[in-house]
Each structure stands twice: as C-alpha cells, then as structure tokens.
C-alpha cells in the first residue's frame, strides 16, 4: 500500500471547500522530525494566508474532521498551523506482515498505466564510449526500471548517433590514412584512431581536412555507393563494441533506432512544416522561428543538409504513430537544453500536444581538479577502462576481507561491487548537478554508497546462515510483527515507504530520491541491529518478528538496488 497516498486522500476528503484539493493533498509529506509523527499535513498554512484566517485555527478544525482510523490516531495541530499524524503501531505491524508474503513489497498494480518512451544512452557511434555517456545510460536505465516497477508501459529507445559528421571524419581517415592490418585485427580501435586523427587535424586548424570530412558526410547522405558501403561495413563493428558495454552494465533496449533510420523521412518533415506555414526560408535555409529563443530552429541548412533537429522531429512523429506515448523522456546532457526547448515548442505547433515531451537533464562528471573528468594525457576517460578500474579496486578489498572465497566467486563479487559503486555514485547525485568522481568515496564501506547497501544485504544473509534458518517459512506464514523497541518501529516505517518513494522518484525523474531512501533504510537497519538482538532475542516471538524485519530489509534493498541496475551478492 502507498501509505502517503492513503493519508493524502483522507486529508483531501476533509479539506475545507475553499482549498484546492490537489495542492492541499500534495502538502501532506513525510514528517521532517520523526519524534512528532510520521506524516505532516501542511495545507492549512497556505490556505490560512489566502483566506486571511489563522492557519492554526484551520488546522484544529481540520483535525476534528479527519477520519484517520484505522491507520492513525487523531492528528495533532502543531507549530504555526500544521498537523502531525502518527501511524498506529498495529497498522504498521499488520502492513509489514502482509508485505512478507507479497513479492511486490507493497507496490500495487496500476489502474491506468502510462506509456513512456525513454530516449537514453544515444551515443554517437564509431567513437569510443566515454565517461560522459555513463550518465545518460544509467540514469535512463534506472528510470526505465522504476517506471516499469510502478506498472507503466516503458519503451527503451537508444537513439544512436549513427549518421552524423563523425562518419565523414572516419571516411576521410579511412581514405587517406588507414592501417589495414590494424583494422583487420581490431576494427573498432582503428576507426577510433582515424576519428581522433581527423579531429586533431581539424582542431589544429586544418581547414582542408574539415572541408574534406564534411564532403564525405554529404556524399554518404546523398547515397554515394562507396561511402554507403563503407558505412554498412563499419556499423556492425561499432554496434558490437557498444553491445559489449551494455551487456556489462546490464542495460537493455527495446528498440535501437538510430538517426540513420529516419533519413528517408526528413524531406517529408520539412515539406510538412512548410505547408503548415511553420517553416519558412531564411537566408537560404529553412527554419522555424520560435518565440522567446534567439536562434531560429534550422530544419534544412543552406547546402540542403538536414539537421539533428530535423531528425528529432521525424523521431517524434514516428514514436507518436508507433506507440502513442503519454510521455517521452530525453535523458540528455543539460547543455542541449536550448535544443530541446525549441524542439518541444516546434513539435507542439506541429500538432503534438497530447504527449508530454521532457528533457531529463543532467550535469557533468568532474575530475579531482573539478574540471571535466580527463585522463592524464587529457583524453576523456573511456568507459571500459573506468569499469575495469572499478572492478580491480573492488577486487583488492574483497581479497583482503574474504580470502576464503574461491577465485571465481571473488571475481564475480568484484564486478558486482565495482560497477555498482560507479553506478550508485552517479545515481545518488541530484542529476542536475555536476559531481566529482572520487574512487575512495564511492567505494567506502560506510556512507551513501552501493558498497554499504550491498554489505547490509550480505550481512542479513549471513544472519540467516548463522541462525541456520531461511526466510521462506516467514514469507509463507508471516509471524506477528512486534514493534516494542523504537528501532523496530523506525525500521518498520521505512520499509513501508517503498511505494511512495518510488512514485516520488518517478514523478521527479530523480533516482537519487530512491538512493536516499535506501541509505536511510540501511541506517535504520544498522540502528535496529545494534539495539535489538535477532538470533538471541529474548522470546521466540521476538526472534521471528526480527528475522522477518531482516528479510523485508534485505528484499527491499535488493529490489531497490535492482531499480538502480545494481546487483547484490550473498557474501562479500
Ligand atoms: N547522440 C546525441 C549526442 O551524443 C544524443 C542524442 C539524444 N537524443 C535525441 N533524441 N536527441 O549528443
């Protein structure tokens, strides 16, 4: 059950007629101070202001009308005019008991699922994936997992940049500087080398290379047989390398429709916009003017080439026709904010008004010097080497802590802990902000890290091993949950919050809301474990109840981490 939702609807039903019900309900929040209650209803404060009445008076009247039984006792007016609501221990205990037998841990099936397309990862192929691609990939993956768990219909679309100017650069390199033997041995690295060669020359001011590369791209798009054949030759290698990274990260897509897929629809988009009077000619280009933004939105350049923007418009039309989504989320670097603002505006004018188009933006990963994360030679850090290093670091910790485990198991744990640490460090940040990549912090055993949560999970498994018992009987015949110690209650209330936390994370499109919750849960578990003996509890009833709390905590950690794309291990 989503307890917050339930409390909100009770408060909403009792709201004064002058109140806007939706915002009055939204003003019910988890309490900021657990000593006074579990939830807090703040709606009377704003209402008091707009009615010119003392909020405290409104709160007292509201308290009299609230029907909180059997969830909670009477609400208590406090402070300038909010209400404290404290759930009954019996209610918490009964919910926890029910959760034990429930695989979904309290998540309810959805009456009205939404269809959500998530455009994420979307790297430009044929160049090596680097740390900048990490964020879109794992934030998008996590949002897809959260929305799926909440019962929505999710389409994961990897909108590959497989048709852009990088191919012109590679084609130029191929024709002028390729090392055939190197290509035969390792096509992906040779293509990357050619790409870097062209890039260096262009950056160094070599305009001949720039012109040549641009003309190779134009020829490719115009259907030049040689360039098309080379493109078809290069693509599978590039896709293969990408697939290996996705496999390692445990990331899957439903469709992988790159920019090239939309190529033959672009002319139609421009015609359509022109016919509708939205696109006009300006200085030889075809553009859409968008109010409030300076540069026009170019859909066809003076040389006749279509743009990133044209492709994005064609993609919107395709997705709308194919899936009729309610939402399309673009998990893309915040630097593309202006592009998306214009794109969404043009799409609305073009007729796509029923679908929410949203830019789920994120900041930059910084190195220890607080500048974009680079290797010592100034290259952007490659994703693969980053994951390798994470695994190596995790491995040395595991070798030290658990030398008794066999080699294969230590290797597997190191991969789970290493990639988990990298993903979690990213997902636990408010995605809007930049963050500093810090190995020591992200693998700390104590703190808001995946390692800490994975360790809490493994510790619970070891409690069951030590007690020579298993959680299955507890799930089949849930015991009475005893909340006699404040730490038991503190843990219990957090266990109940998973559904509401996930709704909030989905609403804000912020996985860090989930990581914060899991961190709090692990801390609550730690307090519980220090204060409440489990295997040595003073009665069999208490022992069963505490084992049940252990099991619920482990399952919540596993499910929650799973929604971040992070695995758990039974020992570490
Ligand atoms: N390939 C682009 C880049 O690497 C990101 C694409 C994002 N998705 C989109 N529909 N524009 O910058």
Residue 308 Cα: closest atom of ligand 1:
11
Q: Tokens for 205, please give them.
A: 């001011």
Residue 333 Cα: closest atom of ligand 1:
12
27 DSSP 8-state letter:
T
- For 225-310, list the strands marked E by DSSP: 279-282, 285-288, 297-300
SS3 call for 452: helix
Place 294 in a pLDDT band, splitting at 50, 70 and 90: confident
Please state, in angstroms and rounded to a whole number, the distance separating the CA atoms of residues 458 and 192: 41
Please state, in angstroms and rounded to a whole number, the distance separating the CA atoms of residues 327 and 118: 8
pLDDT at residue 32 in the model: 84
Write the residue with the smallest CA distance to atom 5 of ligand 1. 122
Establish if 278 belongs to a structural domain: no
Is there a single domain that holds both residue 80 and residue 204? no
Please state, in angstroms and rounded to a whole number, the distance separating the CA atoms of residues 97 and 478: 6
- pLDDT, tens digit (0-9, with 9 covering 90-100), for 426-442: 999 999 999 899 998 99
Please state, in angstroms and rounded to a whole number, the distance separating the CA atoms of residues 147 and 326: 13
- pLDDT, tens digit (0-9, with 9 covering 90-100), for 70-115: 999 999 999 999 999 999 999 999 999 999 999 999 999 999 999 9
Is there a single domain that holds both residue 415 and residue 539? yes
Is there a single domain that holds both residue 416 and residue 524? yes
Task: For ligand 1, pick from 159, 160, 195, 329 the residue to mutate: most ligand atoms within 8 Å of CB.
Answer: 159
Q: How far is the CA of 420 from the centre of ligand 1 (A)?
A: 25
Task: Provide the mean pLDDT of the chain.
Answer: 94
Q: How far is the CA of 392 from the centre of ligand 1 (A)?
A: 31
Establish if 51 belongs to a structural domain: yes
Establish if 310 belongs to a structural domain: no
Task: For ligand 1, pick from 125, 161, 362 the residue to mutate: most ligand atoms within 8 Å of CB.
Answer: 161
Query: In the chain, pLDDT over 90 holds for what percent of residues?
Result: 89
Residue 160 Cα: closest atom of ligand 1:
1
Given 87, 109, 137, the domain boundary residue is 87
Q: How far is the CA of 160 from the centre of ligand 1 (A)?
A: 7
Domain of 398, CATH number, reads: 1.10.730.10
Element (H, E) at 28: strand 28-30
Is there a single domain that holds both residue 72 and residue 167? no
Is there a single domain that holds both residue 40 and residue 189? no
Going by DSSP bridges, is the β-strand pair 39-41/82-85 parallel, antiparallel, or unpaired?
Answer: antiparallel
Per the CB < 8 A criterion, the answer to whether 559 and 498 are in contact is yes
Task: For ligand 1, pick from 332, 342, 346 the residue to mutate: most ligand atoms within 8 Å of CB.
Answer: 332
Establish if 14 belongs to a structural domain: yes
Establish if 201 belongs to a structural domain: yes
Q: How far is the CA of 229 from the centre of ligand 1 (A)?
A: 24
| From 290-299, 339-348, 508-517, the region with the lowest mean pLDDT | 290-299
Question: Is a pLDDT exceeding 80 seen at residue 374?
Answer: no
Is there a single domain that holds both residue 552 and residue 421? yes
Mean pLDDT throughout 489-505?
97
Given 87, 104, 121, the domain boundary residue is 87
pLDDT at residue 101 in the model: 96
Is there a single domain that holds both residue 71 and residue 200? no
Query: Any idea how long the chain is?
Result: 572
Please state, in angstroms and rounded to a whole number, the distance separating the CA atoms of residues 529 and 536: 11
Is there a single domain that holds both residue 80 and residue 164? no
Establish if 210 belongs to a structural domain: yes
Is there a single domain that holds both residue 60 and residue 193? no
Q: How far is the CA of 159 from the centre of ligand 1 (A)?
A: 7
Is there a single domain that holds both residue 404 and residue 534? yes
Q: How far is the CA of 376 from the centre of ligand 1 (A)?
A: 27
pLDDT at residue 380 in the model: 67
Place 130 in a pLDDT band, splitting at 50, 70 and 90: confident
Instruction: Report the C-alpha dihedral over residues 505, 3, 532, 569, rounded to 10 degrees.
Output: -40
Q: How far is the CA of 509 from the centre of ligand 1 (A)?
A: 18
pLDDT at residue 335 in the model: 93
**Domain around 188:** 160-252
302 DSSP 8-state letter:
T
Is there a single domain that holds both residue 196 and residue 51? no
Mean pLDDT throughout 386-409?
93
Is there a single domain that holds both residue 68 and residue 173? no
- pLDDT, tens digit (0-9, with 9 covering 90-100), for 303-318: 888 999 999 999 999 9
SS3 call for 113: coil
Q: How far is the CA of 288 from the centre of ligand 1 (A)?
A: 20
Residue 133 Cα: closest atom of ligand 1:
4
Establish if 132 belongs to a structural domain: no
Q: Residue 346, by phi and psi: left (phi above 0), alpha (psi -120 to 50) or beta?
A: alpha
DSSP 358-376: EEEEE--EE-TTSSB-B-T
Domain of 78, CATH number, reads: 3.30.1360.70
Establish if 23 belongs to a structural domain: yes
Residue 164 Cα: closest atom of ligand 1:
1
Q: How far is the CA of 259 from the centre of ligand 1 (A)?
A: 9
Place 145 in a pLDDT band, splitting at 50, 70 and 90: very high
| From 85-99, 263-277, 281-295, the region with the lowest mean pLDDT | 281-295
- Ligand 1 is surrounded, with C-beta below 6 A, by 119, 122-124, 159, 161, 312, 315, 330, 332
Tally of domains in the chain: 3
**Phi, psi angle pair for 329, to nearest 5°:** -105, 125
- pLDDT, tens digit (0-9, with 9 covering 90-100), for 195-223: 999 999 999 999 999 999 999 999 999 99
Given 87, 104, 130, the domain boundary residue is 87
């Amino acid at each position: 059950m989503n307890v917050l939702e339930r409390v909100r609807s009770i408060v909403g039903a009792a709201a004064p007629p002058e109140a806007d019900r939706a915002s009055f309900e939204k003003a019910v929040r988890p309490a900021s101070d657990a000593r006074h209650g579990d939830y807090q209803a703040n709606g009377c404060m704003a209402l008091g202001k707009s009615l010119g009445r003392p909020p405290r008076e409104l709160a007292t009247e509201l308290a009299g009308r609230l029907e909180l039984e059997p969830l909670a006792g009477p609400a208590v007016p406090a402070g300038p005019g909010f209400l404290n609501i404290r759930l009954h221990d019996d209610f918490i205990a009964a919910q926890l008991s029910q959760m034990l037998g429930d695989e979904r841990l309290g998540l309810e099936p959805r009456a009205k699922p939404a269809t959500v397309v998530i455009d994420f990862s979307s790297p430009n192929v044929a160049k090596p994936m680097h740390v900048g691609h990490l964020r879109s990939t794992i934030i998008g993956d996590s949002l897809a997992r959260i929305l799926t768990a909440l019962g929505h219909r999710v389409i994961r679309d990897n909108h590959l940049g497989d048709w852009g100017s990088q191919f012109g650069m590679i084609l130029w390199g191929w024709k002028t500087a390729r090392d055939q033997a190197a290509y035969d041995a390792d096509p992906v690295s040779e293509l990357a080398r050619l790409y870097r060669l062209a890039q260096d020359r262009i950056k160094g001011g070599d305009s001949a290379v720039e012109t040549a590369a641009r003309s190779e791209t134009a020829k490719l798009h115009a259907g030049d047989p040689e360039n098309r054949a080379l493109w078809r030759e290069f693509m599978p290698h590039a896709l293969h390398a990408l697939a290996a990274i996705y496999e390692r990260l445990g990331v899957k897509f439903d469709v992988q429709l790159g920019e090239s897929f939309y190529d033959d629809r672009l002319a139609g988009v421009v015609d359509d916009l022109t016919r509708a009077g939205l696109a006009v000619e300006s200085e030889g280009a075809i553009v859409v003017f968008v109010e409030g933004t300076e540069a026009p939105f170019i859909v066809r350049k003076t040389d006749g080439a279509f743009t990133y923007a044209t492709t994005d418009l064609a993609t919107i039309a395709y997705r709308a026709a194919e899936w009729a989504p309610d939402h399309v989320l673009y998990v893309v670097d915040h630097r593309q904010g202006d592009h998306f603002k214009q794109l969404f505006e043009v799409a609305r004018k073009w007729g796509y008004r029923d679908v929410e188009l949203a830019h789920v933006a994120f900041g930059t990963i910084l190195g220890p010097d607080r500048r974009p994360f680079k290797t010592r030679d100034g290259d952007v850090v490659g994703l693969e080497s980053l994951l390798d290093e994470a695994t190596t670091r995790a491995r040395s910790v595991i070798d030290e802590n658990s030398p008794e485990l066999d080699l294969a198991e230590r290797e597997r744990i190191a991969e789970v802990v290493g990639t988990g640490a990298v993903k979690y460090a990213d997902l636990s940040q408010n995605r809007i902000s930049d963050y500093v990549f810090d190995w020591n912090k992200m693998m700390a055993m104590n703190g808001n890290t995946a390692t800490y949560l994975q360790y809490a999970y493994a510790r619970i498994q070891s409690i069951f091993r030590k007690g020579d018992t298993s959680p299955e009987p507890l799930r089949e015949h849930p015991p009475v949950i005893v909340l006699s110690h404040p730490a038991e209650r503190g843990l219990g209330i957090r266990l109940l919050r998973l559904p509401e936390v996930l709704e909030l994370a989905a609403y804000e499109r912020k996985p860090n809301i989930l990581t914060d919750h899991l961190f709090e849960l692990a801390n609550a578990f730690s307090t519980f474990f220090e204060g409440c003996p489990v295997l040595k509890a003073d009665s069999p009833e208490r022992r069963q109840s505490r084992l049940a709390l252990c099991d619920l905590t482990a399952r919540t950690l596993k499910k929650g981490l799973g929604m971040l794309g992070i695995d758990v291990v039974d020992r570490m």
